[in-house]
Amino acid sequence: MATDDEFLQVTLPALDLVHNLARRFARSLADAEDLVQDTYLRAWQAWTAGNRPRRAEPWLATICLNLGRDRLRRASLRSEVAVEAVKEPAADVDVEAAAIGRVERAQVERALWALSEEQRIAITLMDIVGFTAAEVASITGSPRGTVLARVHRGRKALARLVAEEAMRREP
Amino acid sequence: MSHEPEVAAAVYLAGTLDVAGRERFEEHLLGCQECWGEVRTAHRGRALAESLREVAPQPLRERVRASVAAASRSDRRRRGRPLVAVAVATIVLAAVAGSILANRGDAGQPAVITAAVASYRTGDLDGSAASPERPQVRQAGDLVWRGARQGRLAGLPVVAHDYRDTAGRHLTLLHADRSFPEALGAFHPPGAAIWVAEVDGVAVLCADRPSPSLLVGRDRVEVLLAASQLGLH
């Protein structure tokens, strides 16, 4: 019979991963923590039905991703205000002008939220959570080339958005 | 060969080029302003994204442990109780309830809770009529809203929203104008203003926000997940 000890032993080491992913689907920490709990409860439900993943990390990431997307869809349905993806910033921004030391975490967070949902998810899975492009392709169900393009364009947009904001703040 | 700086930089930064391919591209980078710009900007974006990594807070770890343990206890109770023991316990509790607690139903539960569970099992609701009330959320996981009825549970006016999936699983969300009484043996998940209980083999979850609500479903995991998806807290 399935025991929660065994389940937690396999899945709890991936808590940081799930937490970082959930943070990209919820604006508030409380909502992100609800999503983490839901991910673990859904995984537990599958575990008790006999599902034993080869690796816990991609399994939990897929569950969290599906629940998170579902939440975002519902949130956007409830809200009258459509979230519009930011267009690529002007290419002539000098990225190096925004030195890392001057960049605040909140600026990066805001810039990440300004990307399209697909770019944000791809960047989160590869750069924040640490999956390879092949793993991200399998988790998101997208071709590897599409993942690479999303990550690459997302990274460029992120760098430019942060640089633009840093320059706007220059005295 | 075509020159595509964006593709070349993306593949290079993915780290999947072999040594020879990597060395070739790095040599090319020294003389190609366009590719160099692509790599530099994307590299900077990656560093910024990596700077957002954080460790999950310790209370979250405890919360996950507690909710999985609660779900596990619920599963064990559902699967593992010997029938004779359950029958004896039910008879004893019913006798105690009948003789001592006039305002309580079977097994010492408040009458409203017993009536909610009975309504979930039979689909009947006292004085039931269709309700024009529409839920804010029409889907909870695989469960889709099927309709609303208004009626009474042990005298308490309620609106009952029914959610079902294609396999026939169902969940009832009850709304009232005042708080529902707490079920006997209710469990309060840490850090949440809700309670969850198992009554007569089904799971009951109660939340007061955004309005007094009682969720009745097959098991604890299902009602916890649905509560979160329905925005109850």
Read off the pLDDT of residues B103-156 as tens digits, 9 standing for 90 and up.
Answer: 444 557 888 999 999 999 888 888 777 877 887 777 776 778 888 899 999 888
Give me B131's structure tokens.
Answer: 């309700």
Which percentage of chain A shows pLDDT scores above 90? 62
Residues A59-84 have a mean pLDDT of 75
> Which of residues 134 through 153 in chain A touch B, CB cutoff 8 A?
148-149, 151-153
Collect all residues of chain B within an 8 Å Cβ-Cβ radius of residue A162: 48
Collect all residues of chain B within an 8 Å Cβ-Cβ radius of residue A41: 67-68, 71, 221, 224-225
Which among B133, B186, B178, B134 has a CA at the least distance from the CA of B153? B178
Decide if pLDDT at B174 tops 80: yes
Which has the minimum average pLDDT: A31-45, B28-42, B135-149? B135-149
Model's pTM, two decimal places?
0.62
* Cβ partners under 8 Å of residue B224, min gap 6: A37, A38, A41, B67, B70, B71, B189, B196, B205
Collect all residues of chain A within an 8 Å Cβ-Cβ radius of residue B229: 38, 70-71, 74
Hey, how many other C-beta atoms are within 10 angstroms of the C-beta on A47? 22
Which percentage of chain B shows pLDDT scores above 70? 82
> How big is chain A by its Cα radius of gyration, in Å?
18
The pLDDT assigned to B102 comes to 35
Residues B180-185 have a mean pLDDT of 89
- Give the per-residue SS3 of chain B: CCCCHHHHHHHHHHCCCCHHHHHHHHHHHHHCHHHHHHHHHHHHHHHHHHCCCCCCCHHHHHHHHHHHHHHHHHHHHHHHCCHHHHHHHHHHHHHHHHHHCCCECHHHCEHHHHHHHHHHHHCCCEEEEECCCCCCCCEECCEEEEEEEEEEECCEEEEEEEEECCCCCEEEEEEECCCCCCCCCCECCCCCCCEEEEECCEEEEEECCCCCEEEEECCHHHHHHHHHHCCCC
E strand or H helix at A149: helix A144-169
The pLDDT assigned to A74 comes to 76
The pLDDT assigned to A57 comes to 96
Distance CA A66, CA A70 (A): 6
Collect all residues of chain B within an 8 Å Cβ-Cβ radius of residue A158: 45, 48-49
Decide if pLDDT at B93 tops 60: no
User: What's the whole-number average pLDDT of chain A?
Assistant: 84
Task: Tell me the pLDDT tens digit for each residue of B190-221.
Answer: 667 788 888 888 899 999 888 899 999 988 87
Measured between CA atoms, the residue of chain A closest to residue B64 is A37
Query: Which of A96-100, B121-125, B174-178: highest mean pLDDT?
Result: B174-178
- ipTM, 2 dp: 0.83
Which structural domains are found in chain A, ordered by start?
1-83 (1.10.1740), 85-171 (1.10.10.10)
Contact B44 A154 (CB under 8 A): no
Which percentage of chain A shows pLDDT scores above 70? 81
